[in-house]
C-alpha cells in the first residue's frame, strides 16, 4: 500500500485530532503517504484534500474538535454521491480509507467498501450509541465536561434550595445522562431507554426538600424531551423553583481526556495496521480493553447500541 486517506465525518468529538495523528504517524512509519480530506465526505466529493505530514499533526493531539473539520454530507446517502466518492479515491490512487465518525459516517464507509475500496472505520461520537465497541471516541471527554458543569451547578443549587434539570446530548441514547447522573450523584436520569413517572419523581423531590436536602439534580437525555419541558412540568406539579441547564455543544469540545487520547492513538494505529494486513469493510472497537474488528455490515445491521443493563441496575441500587 502506497497511499491511504483519512477523514472525520458527522458530529465532531474530542480525540479526533489524536486519531488522525495516529493514522498519519502509523502510515508514514510504513512509508505510506496519507491524504487528509477536509470537511468529511464533502471534501472527498469536492477535492478538498492534501497530504498530511508529521508537521500537519504536530501540536494537535491535545486539541478538541478536528483540524480536518467535519460535516454531515447528504450526497453520500445517494448512490451518485457514493460513486463519485469512489471515483475520486481511485483517481487519487488511494488504496485504503480511514473514516473517523459515527453511524451516518459508517454508512458512507460501507458504500465505499462495497465499491471495492478498502475501508476501516473508527467509532467516534459522544453519544456512545455505536454497537460493537464498549466506548466510542469522545465519550469520556464529553462525560468529563458534563460532570465538571454539574459539579459547579450543585454549588449554586444548594445555596438556593433549587432543583436543576440538566439536559445532555446523546440523540436517542441515554448513556451520557445515565453515566453522568451516577458520577455526579444526581437524583434522577430520565432517558429514552427507561420509562419514568413524573408524579413519583415530584413526590420524591418534595420529600427531599422537606427532609432538608438543599438541592436536587435531574439529568435529562435530549432524546426524551427538553429540560425546559420537564422543568415546567415539575413547577406545575409542586411549585418548586426549578432552573435548567442545557449543555448543548459544550459537551463535544475541549481537550481530550487521557482515556480518549490513548484510545485515539490505539484506534489510529490499528486502523492503518488493519488496512495494511488486508482488513476491509470493518470497524474498530474496544471490547474488554482489547481492540477488535467487526464487519461494518454487522455494525450497521445492529443499529443503536443498547444501554448497558449493569449501569441501569447500578443507578437503581444507588437510588434513582
Ligand atoms: O451525534 C452527536 C451529537 O452531538 C448528538 O448528541 C446531537 O444530538 C447531535 O450530534 C447534534 O448535531 P449537530 O451538531 O448537527 O447540531
Q: What is the CATH number of the domain that holds 290?
A: 3.40.50.450
The answer to whether residue 16 is domain-embedded is: yes
Residue 314 confidence (pLDDT): 96
Residues 38-68: tens digit of each pLDDT: 999 999 999 999 999 999 999 999 999 999 9
Among 236, 252, 268, the domain-final residue is 252
pTM exceeds 0.95: yes
The answer to whether residue 167 is domain-embedded is: yes
Same-domain pairing of 181 and 295: no
The answer to whether residue 125 is domain-embedded is: yes
CA 74 to centroid of ligand 1, rounded, Å: 15
Task: Select from 72, 142, 171 the residue to mutate for testing ligand 1; criterion: most ligand atoms less than 8 Å from CB.
Answer: 171
Please enumerate in sequence order all residues whose Cβ is within 8 A of that of 81, keeping only pairs 6 or more positions apart, or say none: 41, 45, 73, 74, 75
Confidence label for 256 from pLDDT (cuts 50, 70 and 90) = very high
The answer to whether residue 314 is domain-embedded is: no
Atom of ligand 1 nearest to the CA of 171: 8
Atom of ligand 1 nearest to the CA of 222: 8
% of the chain at pLDDT higher than 70: 100
Same-domain pairing of 274 and 248: no
The answer to whether residue 234 is domain-embedded is: yes
Same-domain pairing of 163 and 96: no
Atom of ligand 1 nearest to the CA of 169: 6
Residue 59 confidence (pLDDT): 98
Residue 241 confidence (pLDDT): 82
Domain encompassing residue 38: 3-138+256-302
Same-domain pairing of 287 and 171: no
Among 228, 252, 276, the domain-final residue is 252
- Only one residue has cell 450523584, namely 185
CA 127 to centroid of ligand 1, rounded, Å: 8
Confidence label for 319 from pLDDT (cuts 50, 70 and 90) = confident
Ligand 1 and 170: CB distance under 6 A: yes
Same-domain pairing of 270 and 212: no
Quick check: 110 and 300 in contact, CB under 8 A? yes
The answer to whether residue 320 is domain-embedded is: no
149/57 Cα distance (integer angstroms)? 30
Quick check: 58 and 88 in contact, CB under 8 A? no
Number of structural domains, the chain? 2
Same-domain pairing of 134 and 146: no
Q: Which residues are catalytic?
A: 127
Same-domain pairing of 128 and 147: no
Same-domain pairing of 108 and 15: yes
For 47-95, the three-class secondary structure string (H helix, E strand, C coil) is: CCEEEECCCCCCCCCCCCCCCCCCCCCHHHHCHHHHHHHHHHHHHCCCC
Atom of ligand 1 nearest to the CA of 72: 15
Ligand 1 and 193: CB distance under 6 A: no
CA 312 to centroid of ligand 1, rounded, Å: 24
Same-domain pairing of 134 and 266: yes
* Type and span of the H or E element at 250: none
Ligand 1 and 102: CB distance under 6 A: yes
Same-domain pairing of 76 and 200: no
CA 311 to centroid of ligand 1, rounded, Å: 23
Q: Is the pLDDT of residue 147 over 80?
A: yes
The answer to whether residue 319 is domain-embedded is: no
The answer to whether residue 49 is domain-embedded is: yes
Residue 320 confidence (pLDDT): 72
Task: Select from 11, 145, 222, 223 the residue to mutate for testing ligand 1; criterion: most ligand atoms less than 8 Å from CB.
Answer: 11
CA 112 to centroid of ligand 1, rounded, Å: 24
Amino acid at each position: 500500500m502506497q497511499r491511504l486517506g483519512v477523514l472525520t465525518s458527522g458530529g465532531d468529538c474530542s480525540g479526533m485530532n489524536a486519531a488522525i495523528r495516529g493514522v498519519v504517524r502509523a502510515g508514514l512509519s510504513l512509508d505510506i503517504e496519507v491524504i487528509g480530506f477536509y470537511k468529511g465526505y464533502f471534501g472527498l466529493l469536492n477535492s478538498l484534500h492534501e497530504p498530511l505530514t508529521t508537521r500537519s499533526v504536530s501540536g494537535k493531539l491535545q486539541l478538541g474538535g478536528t483540524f480536518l473539520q467535519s460535516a454531515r454530507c447528504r450526497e453520500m446517502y445517494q448512490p451518485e454521491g457514493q460513486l463519485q466518492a469512489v471515483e475520486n479515491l481511485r483517481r487519487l490512487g488511494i488504496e485504503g480509507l480511514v473514516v473517523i465518525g459515527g453511524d451516518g459516517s459508517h454508512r458512507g464507509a460501507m458504500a465505499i467498501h462495497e465499491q471495492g475500496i478498502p475501508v476501516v472505520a473508527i467509532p467516534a461520537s459522544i453519544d456512545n450509541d455505536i454497537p460493537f465497541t464498549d466506548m466510542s471516541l469522545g465519550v469520556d471527554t464529553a462525560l468529563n465536561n458534563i460532570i465538571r458543569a454539574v459539579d459547579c451547578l450543585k454549588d449554586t443549587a444548594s445555596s438556593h434550595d433549587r432543583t436543576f434539570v440538566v439536559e445532555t446530548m446523546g440523540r436517542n441514547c441515554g448513556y451520557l445522562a445515565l453515566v453522568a447522573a451516577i458520577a455526579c450523584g444526581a437524583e434522577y436520569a430520565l432517558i429514552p431507554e427507561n420509562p419514568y413517572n413524573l408524579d413519583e419523581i415530584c413526590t420524591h423531590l418534595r420529600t427531599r426538600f422537606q427532609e432538608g436536602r438543599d438541592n436536587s439534580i435531574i439529568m435529562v437525555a435530549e432524546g426524551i424531551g427538553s429540560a425546559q419541558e420537564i422543568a415546567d412540568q415539575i413547577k406545575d406539579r409542586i411549585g418548586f423553583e426549578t432552573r435548567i441547564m442545557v449543555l448543548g455543544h459544550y459537551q463535544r469540545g475541549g481537550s481530550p481526556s487521557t482515556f480518549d487520547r490513548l484510545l485515539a492513538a490505539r484506534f489510529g494505529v490499528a486502523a492503518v495496521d488493519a488496512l495494511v494486513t488486508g482488513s476491509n469493510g470493518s470497524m474498530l472497537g474496544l471490547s474488554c480493553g482489547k481492540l477488535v474488528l467487526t464487519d461494518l455490515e454487522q455494525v450497521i445491521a445492529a443499529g443503536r447500541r443498547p444501554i448497558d443493563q449493569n449501569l441501569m441496575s447500578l443507578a437503581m441500587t444507588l437510588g434513582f
